[in-house]
Amino acid sequence: MTIWHLQRPGGRRVAVHELTPDAPAGAPVVLLSHAAPGSGAFDPDPAATAAAGVRLIAPDRPGYGGSDPVPGLLTVDAAAADAAAVLDEVLPAGATAGLAGWSAGGRVVLAVAAHRPELVGRVAVVATPAPDEEVPWYGEQAALIDPMRGLPEADARAALDGAFGPTLEHVTGDARLSLVVDAEVDAAVLAGPGVADRVRAMVEEALRPGAAGIAAEVGGYTLAPWGFDPADVRAPVLLGYGAADAAVGPEHGTWWAKALPSAELEVVPGVGHLVVVPFWARALAHLAD
């Protein structure tokens, strides 16, 4: 893996992970948008990626890993604009990329597809929540988020920093895996070759700068409009969900399947939020079709 940086307006840098640095010139580009918290350091299944023959790139969203933070809330639209800028940098004129998003990353790639359709061939969305007002999922986060509604953006961000900073300081080692996966439900997936190490490395890289990324992003998708209409996503979308995902179950995929003009839902039995690993080969087959 190699990392390069894209400079955005105002001098903010976006770190982009080249997860297949030996991909041949002209290989189809696939952009992966990570979970929250997460980073572009994660390849769900390197063997499947290599077999697909793609160039897999994955930017860190602001405040995660090597990407500079934003001062306020990280909206879905702002994250999508960074992803689109990365594609503008790497795609030849007139070419398109496959876009994949895991969990929070699914919203980002759908926003890119809605706003910059000329960049997008196909989309794979894996374990991504529907809007909370459509399929409730905030759960315990609601007690944190609801009092912030209506606050000025700077005040909301300060409150989020104050909530997430101390919490993450006390979540260390393998306990951090629980931020993105259910270790019990996904025990079999985590036991696969290198999987736990890759998830661990993703989370450690994500939180290396501290809580800035997760604080800004949670506020961005709970306190601000997502900024795109699913009806504007014209690319074919494959939806993958784990049947045993207690956090973001298949009912979220059912909502997206109805809201998107061209979408197919597949449910993987016996797995939870880490469904992205066993589903990755299927997602790549869809993106490269």
Dihedral angle, C-alpha 202, 204, 208, 212, nearest 10 °: 70
Pick the CATH number of 2-287 from 1.10.3720.10, 3.40.50.150, 3.40.50.1820, 3.40.50.261: 3.40.50.1820
> What pLDDT is attached to residue 137?
87
How many residues are recorded in the chain? Answer: 289
> What pLDDT is attached to residue 164?
87
Domain residue ranges of the chain, discontinuous segments joined by +: 2-287
> What pLDDT is attached to residue 219?
94
The model's pTM is 0.96
> What pLDDT is attached to residue 171?
80
The whole-angstrom separation of Cα 102 and Cα 31 is 11
Strand arrangement, sheet containing 263-268: 2-7, 13-18, 55-59, 29-33, 97-102, 120-126, 237-242, 263-268
Under 8 Å CB-to-CB from 140, ≥6 apart: which residues?
none
Under 8 Å CB-to-CB from 144, ≥6 apart: which residues?
163
Q: What is the pLDDT along the chain (289 residues), one digit of tens a residue?
A: 899 999 999 999 999 999 999 999 899 999 999 999 999 999 999 999 999 999 999 999 999 999 999 999 999 999 999 999 999 999 999 999 999 999 999 999 999 999 999 999 999 999 999 999 999 988 777 788 889 998 999 999 999 999 888 878 778 778 888 889 999 999 999 999 999 999 999 999 999 999 999 999 999 999 999 999 999 999 999 999 999 999 999 999 999 999 999 999 999 999 999 999 999 999 999 998 7
